[in-house]
Amino acid sequence: MAFTRGKYGIEHNRRQDDEKSHGLRWLLALLGILLVASFILARLFRQQPPARIDAESRPPAPAVEPPRETVRATAASPGAPTAPAPRPPVATPQPSPAHVKPEPPDPKATRDAAKLLDSARQRPAAERVLLERLAKAERQGETVIAIDTIKRLCDSPAVADLHPRLWERLGQLNMQLLFSDRSSPWTARVTVKRGDSRDRLARDNRTTGAALERLNPKTNWARIRPGDVVRVLQYPRAVLVIHKRLGFADLSLRGGFFHRYSFTGGARAAAGVYPITSEPGKTARACLRALGVTFSQKDRADLEMFLAPESSVNVSDQ
């Protein structure tokens, strides 16, 4: 377009070449916009990673079973080349947390189990199987299996003549399990907190400092720090039942039989329940002395370790 002097002054003159050039500019601008947009889209798609298909999440392909006629024909033709059978995937063995190295067998316990097995031939089939299982567990040092087997045998009236020996052996195995590195139904692992000590942990878990020391033989109690993990005898609720006439005492932990002890004396002990406290004259040592029962030095140390405050001693006339 242009401005020229006309008849009536300065007039606007529309030129054809200006119109063509104006349309060309719009076309070039549109092409430029399209190129920029395509460039941006290409960059965006290039930066986006392709979708991955995890081999574990991909649905397995359905197995196609060949026709039976084809299988028979392949098996019948001796000259036909046989395709190698696919090798099954080798599973990596995972360590089992429940697997624990067996304890070394006790020679005396092995001999006793062999004696029990000698009498198994005259027993019913169910008890005979249990006695064979017990003998095998004793030979292999499988404490947990032996404990479970003895409990089943003690529930059977068919082996009532063996019950005293079985209860005695059960107590020995329970002690062996308690003070081993295995987990047991009477212990727990606790984390030491700020301000904890041996006596405080014992008081909080209703046990004794002697039990904590025996459960943690490598722990220096003067240097324990927050974050340390120790084993405790957790809420054992120990009860010692003294059978005056039978001459033995049964210790129960958490409501179940744990160990059997032999004693002498106790004739003057009156039947009843004697609570154990931390007061002078009512501790486990003082209570047993007052009842007139005498245990071996080792058994007395065990009982004083288990009979914490809030435990009790029950005297029976049996």
CA dihedral sign, ordered 126, 130, 131, 133: positive
State the pLDDT at residue 30: 82
Cα–Cα separations (whole angstroms), residue 278 to 269, 295, 300, 306, 310 = 21, 21, 17, 13, 9
**Residue 266 pLDDT grade (very low, low, confident, very high; cuts 50, 70, 90):** confident
* Rounded average pLDDT over 221-239: 95
State the pLDDT at residue 290: 93
* Rounded average pLDDT over 52-58: 41
Lowest mean pLDDT among 58-72, 223-237, 300-314: 58-72
CA 66, CA 63: separation in Å to the nearest integer? 9
Rounded to 10°, the helix 163-178/143-154 angle is 150
| Position with higher pLDDT, 65 vs 41 | 41
* Rounded average pLDDT over 3-25: 58
CA dihedral sign, ordered 153, 159, 160, 164: negative
| Position with higher pLDDT, 121 vs 67 | 121
Which DSSP letter does residue 125 get?
H
Contacts of 237 (CB under 8 A, 6+ apart): 206, 253, 254, 255, 310, 311
Using the predicted structure, report yes or no on whether residue 75 has a pLDDT greater than 70: no
* Rounded average pLDDT over 33-41: 81
The long-range contacts involving 75-82, CB below 8 angstroms and separated by at least 24 positions, are none
DSSP helix/strand/coil, 203: helix
Most confident of 29-33, 45-49, 102-106, 143-147: 143-147
pTM of structure:
0.65
| Position with higher pLDDT, 35 vs 200 | 200
The long-range contacts involving 286-293, CB below 8 angstroms and separated by at least 24 positions, are 287/313, 288/313, 291/242, 291/266, 291/315, 292/265, 292/266, 292/267, 292/268, 293/242, 293/249, 293/263, 293/264, 293/265, 293/266, 293/269
End-to-end Cα separation, the chain, in angstroms: 131
**Residue 11 pLDDT grade (very low, low, confident, very high; cuts 50, 70, 90):** low
Using the predicted structure, report yes or no on whether residue 60 has a pLDDT greater than 60: no
**Residue 254 pLDDT grade (very low, low, confident, very high; cuts 50, 70, 90):** very high
State the pLDDT at residue 9: 59
Contacts of 5 (CB under 8 A, 6+ apart): 11
According to DSSP, the residues that pair with 242 across neighbouring strands are 249, 315
What's the pLDDT tens digit per position in 84-140? 444 443 333 333 334 445 556 667 677 777 777 776 777 889 998 999 999 999 999
Residue-averaged pLDDT of the chain: 80
CA 14, CA 8: separation in Å to the nearest integer? 16
**Residue 21 pLDDT grade (very low, low, confident, very high; cuts 50, 70, 90):** low
The two counts, helices (H) then strands (E), for the chain are 10, 11
State the pLDDT at residue 257: 96
Question: Which of 249, 222, 100, 224 shows the shortest CA–CA distance to 168?
Answer: 249
